[in-house]
């Protein structure tokens, strides 16, 4: 059996990295805090840009970790990590001590808790939901208001918890814009007569086929994009939402009644990742994600030899980028293990 | 609407409110237009709760209205506030109780300025010393007087003679709460419950048996907005903001509006008179306007004080419809009679009479 590697977190990055390392001959232990693997991908229904069912990605990832060199431990967390003579000892929440020659941290991201944007009333107004809540509705097959009615006018708010200094997140989460475009199109597919409005600051369509998706959403689905931030949400006497927003292109304030408001929650360093960073003394960056060793040449490396990063524990990424980042982490880990062998 | 969500927010904005030994600073507007409010506060704190509340006769206006209309510069108002703190120090007090929301906003803004820019604090110390020879300390506790009534709202509820319940129907009264913008919108951490879903007044309303109305324009300015009103040409804008609020709350059938800011009480009260005169519009039920009360006036009513001792006759929108709903016993003949029995002139065109 080859060198021992512990991978922390079995989302897309962790599963891809663990599978590749096992294939390369390492003895891999993959630790996941939830009972199920798959991370945030499990919470999504269809994925951009091609509307693929997320279950296909989960199946792919499951196939990666089905390897004889790989041991999967679910339902536990890594609480502490120490280094002793080049060996890492990882202590789990349920009292295990895992030994490793190298560690891959792939603790992923948490969705921004939308209730922190108090002015939007998430958790207070029944028909203010998050993008993740809407995905659950899509998976269930019905998009309904809290009172069971079909929504006729739906708003999607971009940049909830992203590019927002007030909540301490000045960075862009990169994926919320395209998520909004995708969800707006899915809403129109499901509720043909509904009117769908997206409230955005800038449309950041930086990924492959994103711009095409954005165009299609306007030309084929008639999604209405309003450039401006929602300032406040309230409820009227009929339990309809009243949304105040500034239309910065028209140069005027708007007040709209909507049946449902969907908040495009941004990505934040996961709580489990932040805990691990504190326990293991790993640096975090200005964006509060794990700080990478070098922006150009070391995006998988930590400041400590033998500890590597994969995926969205370092910055917001889409699934394609996450998997590529995980594969790059594997290359760095194998290089590092070779130096130990030498 | 889920109340659990609001409770989570309130838990994040629990400020420390001193329990005793207050240096009390009055409000220019309230002591002129709603004099019963401050009178009741002092009586309640001193005579009912037995607290130590001190007033210094050398206290002046905070000059906040001048500051917000670009007449009083920042450096000047910082010196004025520093002088108040010097009076407090000289009187041996560390907890300031501020009657006015504009003043409360001024004090919190200046304290935050000094915290972030210590050079400004040193400059102010120097300015005050050169001008008056006085020195000051930063208060240990800063509370708006609505914070203090909120703190003791259960004590008031325990003494309630007329809870906020409609005696005829048995239903809780629908109460609109309106928080002054400068109470927590600038610094949410300084307000009980924060800025978006403030708890300071809604807590009193629920404690005293009422139902809090959440309506779309709840967060909107009362219409005062300083320059909206102070510049005469802008007054139509001031009034349009007030009307926006009343039109928004109207479908919820409010029985009263409760405010914690002098400007808000004044404008939501007096612009209702203006709207009725100009357009014939009223926003309450049965052709009535909606009484607008301060938290002290409401606390006094709930505790069974004579509404004329609380000064409710000095509002434009009269509160008799509210008295009838609550079952408050009152004598109309005493309304404009002095304590020694002299009849004062009765104002014309009061609403709800």
**Tell me, what CATH number does A235's domain have?**
3.50.50.60
Residue closest to A203 by CA, chosen among A192, A191, A218? A218
Residues 6+ apart with CB under 8 A from B351: B272, B273, B276, B282, B288, B289, B316, B317, B318
Res A341 pLDDT > 70 = no
Query: Do residues A143 and A176 both lie within one domain?
Result: yes
Same domain, A44 and A86: yes
pLDDT for residue B95 is more than 60: yes
Q: Which chain A positions have a beta carbon within 8 Å of B8's beta carbon?
A: 115, 123
Of B2, B215, B248, nearest to A123 by CB-CB distance is: B2
End residue of a domain, out of A266, A294, A319: A266
Q: Of A288, A323, A278, A334, which is closest to residue A15 (Cα–Cα)?
A: A323
Task: Judge if A64 and A98 occupy the same domain.
Answer: yes
pLDDT digits (tens, 9 = 90+) for B263-316: 999 999 999 999 999 999 999 999 999 999 999 999 999 999 999 999 999 999
Q: How many CB atoms lie within 10 A of CB B270?
A: 18
- Residue A84: what pLDDT? 86
Question: How confident is residue A85, by pLDDT bands cut at 50, 70 and 90?
Answer: confident
pLDDT at A198 over 90: yes
Out of A122, A124, A237, closest to residue B252 by CB: A237
Other residues' Cβ atoms within 10 Å of the Cβ of residue A52: 12
Q: Are residues A169 and A197 in the same domain?
A: yes
Chain B residues within an 8 Å CB radius of A123: 2, 4-5, 8
Kindly give the pairing relationship between strand A27-32 and strand A70-74: parallel
pLDDT band at B349 (very low <50, low <70, confident <90, very high): confident
- The ipTM (two decimal places) reads 0.90
The pLDDT, as a whole number, for residue B237 is 94
Contacting residues of B for A125, CB less than 8 Å apart = 1-2
Q: Does residue B324 have a pLDDT over 60?
A: yes
Residue in chain B closest to A123 (alpha carbons) equals B5
A249 and A284 part of one domain: no
Residue range of the domain that includes A88:
4-108+270-341
* Same domain, yes or no: A258 and A288: no
Residue B297 Cα distances to B252, B272, B331, angstroms: 23, 19, 17
B323 pLDDT exceeds 60? yes
Residue with tokens 């909206």, as numbered in its chain: B228
Q: What is the pLDDT of residue A1?
A: 56
Both tokens of B125, joined, read: 């110390």
Identify whether residues A52 and A98 lie together within a single domain: yes
pTM tops 0.90, yes or no: yes
- Say yes or no to pLDDT of A252 above 70: yes
Distance from CA of A113 to the nearest CA of B (A): 12
pLDDT at A72 over 70: yes
Residue A276 parent element (H or E): helix A271-280
What is the number of domains present in chain A?
Answer: 2
For chain A, the average pLDDT equals: 96
Q: Are both A184 and A312 inside the same structural domain?
A: no
Write the pLDDT tens digit of every residue in A210-240. 999 999 999 999 999 999 999 999 999 999 9
Question: Distance of CA B351 to CAs B143, B272, B274, B316, B348, Å?
Answer: 34, 9, 10, 6, 9
Token couple for A142 = 């019905």
* Nearest Cα residue to A276 out of A37, A7, A5: A7
pLDDT for the residue A2:
80
pLDDT at residue A342 tops 60? no
Closest Cα of chain B to A232: distance in Å? 9
pLDDT tens string B115-169: 999 999 999 999 999 999 999 999 999 999 999 999 999 999 999 999 999 999 9
Question: What CA dihedral angle connects A51, A53, A59 and A61, to 10 degrees?
Answer: 40
Residue B142: the pLDDT is 98
Q: At what angle do helices A131-140 and A176-190 cross, to 10 degrees?
A: 30
Q: Cis bond leading into B227, ω under 30°? A: no
Q: Considering only CA atoms, which of A118, A122, A234, A230 is closest in space to residue B184?
A: A118
Domains of chain B: 16-145 (1.20.1050.140), 160-334 (3.40.50.11810)
Same domain, A199 and A254: yes
Asked whether the beta carbons of residue A236 and residue B8 sit closer than 8 angstroms, the reply is no
pLDDT of residue B40: 98
pLDDT at B227: 86
The torsion of the CA quartet B76, B80, B86, B90, rounded to 10 degrees, works out to 150
Residues of B in contact with A235 (CB under 8 A): 1, 214, 216
Q: What is the pLDDT of residues B186-239, one digit of tens each?
A: 999 999 999 999 999 999 999 999 999 999 999 999 999 998 899 999 999 999
Kindly list the distances between the CA atom of residue A50 and the CA atoms of A178, A186, A239, B307, in Å, as whole numbers in the listed order. 11, 12, 36, 69
Q: Are residues A246 and A123 in the same domain?
A: yes
């Amino acid at each position: 059996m080859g060198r021992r590697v512990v991978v922390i977190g079995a989302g897309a990055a962790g599963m891809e990295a663990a599978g590749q390392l096992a294939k390369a001959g390492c003895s891999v232990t993959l630790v996941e805090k939830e009972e199920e693997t798959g991370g945030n991908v499990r919470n999504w229904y269809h994925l951009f840009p091609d509307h693929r069912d997320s279950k296909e990605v989960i199946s792919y990832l499951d196939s990666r970790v089905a390897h004889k060199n790989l041991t999967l431990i679910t339902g536990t967390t890594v609480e502490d990590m120490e280094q002793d003579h080049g060996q890492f000892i990882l202590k789990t929440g349920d009292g295990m001590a895992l030994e490793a020659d190298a560690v891959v941290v792939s603790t992923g991201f948490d969705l921004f808790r939308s209730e922190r944007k108090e002015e939007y009333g998430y958790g207070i107004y029944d028909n203010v939901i998050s993008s993740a809540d809407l995905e659950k509705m899509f998976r269930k097959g019905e998009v309904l208001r809290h009172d069971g009615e079909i929504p006729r006018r739906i708003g999607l708010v971009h940049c909830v918890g992203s590019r927002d200094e007030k909540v301490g997140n000045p960075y862009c989460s990169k994926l919320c814009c395209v998520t909004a475009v995708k969800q707006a199109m899915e809403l129109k597919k499901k509720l043909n007569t509904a009117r769908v409005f997206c409230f955005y600051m800038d449309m950041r369509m930086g990924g492959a086929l994103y711009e095409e998706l954005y165009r299609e959403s306007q030309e084929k689905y008639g999604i209405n994009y309003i450039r401006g931030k929602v300032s406040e949400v309230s409820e009227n006497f009929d339990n309809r939402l009243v949304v105040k927003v500034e239309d910065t292109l028209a140069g005027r304030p708007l007040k709209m009644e909507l049946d449902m408001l969907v908040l495009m929650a941004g990505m934040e360093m996961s709580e489990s990742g932040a805990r691990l960073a504190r326990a293991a003394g790993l640096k975090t960056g200005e964006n509060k994600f794990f700080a990478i060793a070098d922006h150009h040449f070391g995006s998988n490396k930590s400041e400590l030899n033998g500890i590597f990063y994969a995926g969205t524990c370092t910055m917001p990424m889409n699934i394609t980028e996450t998997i590529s980042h995980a594969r790059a982490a594997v290359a760095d880990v194998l290089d590092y293990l070779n130096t130990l062998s030498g | 609407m889920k109340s659990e969500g609001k409770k989570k927010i309130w838990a994040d904005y629990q400020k420390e409110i001193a329990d005793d030994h207050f240096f009390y600073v009055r409000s220019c507007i309230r002591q002129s237009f709603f004099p019963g409010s401050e009178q009741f506060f002092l009586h309640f704190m001193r005579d009912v709760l037995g607290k130590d509340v001190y007033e210094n006769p050398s206290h002046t206006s905070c000059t906040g209205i001048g500051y917000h209309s670009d007449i009083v510069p920042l450096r000047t108002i910082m010196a004025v506030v520093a002088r108040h703190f010097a009076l407090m120090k000289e009187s041996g007090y560390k907890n300031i109780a501020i009657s006015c929301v504009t003043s409360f906003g001024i004090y919190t803004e200046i304290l935050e300025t000094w915290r972030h820019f210590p050079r400004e604090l040193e400059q102010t110390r120097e300015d005050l010393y050169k001008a008056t020879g006085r020195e000051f300390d930063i208060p240990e506790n800063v509370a708006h007087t609505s914070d203090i009534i909120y703190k003791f709202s259960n004590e008031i509820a325990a003494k309630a003679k007329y809870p906020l319940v409609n005696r005829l129907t048995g239903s809780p009264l629908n109460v609109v709460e309106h928080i002054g913008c400068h109470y927590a919108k600038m610094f949410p951490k300084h307000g009980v419950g924060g800025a978006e879903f403030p708890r300071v007044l809604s807590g009193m309303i629920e404690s005293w048996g009422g139902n809090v109305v959440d309506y779309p324009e709840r967060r909107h300015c009362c219409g005062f907005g300083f320059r909206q009103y102070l510049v005469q040409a802008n007054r139509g804008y001031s009034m349009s903001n007030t009307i926006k609020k009343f039109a928004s709350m109207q479908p919820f059938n409010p029985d009263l509006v409760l405010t914690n800011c002098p400007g808000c009480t004044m404008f939501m009260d007096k612009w209702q008179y203006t709207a009725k005169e100009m357009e014939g519009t009223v926003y309450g039920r049965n052709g009535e306007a909606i009484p607008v009360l301060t938290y002290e006036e409401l606390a006094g009513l709930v505790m069974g004080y004579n509404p004329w001792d609380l000064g409710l006759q000095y509002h434009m929108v009269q509160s008799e419809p509210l008295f009838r709903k609550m079952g408050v016993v009152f004598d109309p003949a005493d309304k404009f009679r002095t304590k020694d029995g002299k009849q004062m002139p009765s104002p014309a065109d009061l609403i709800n009479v």
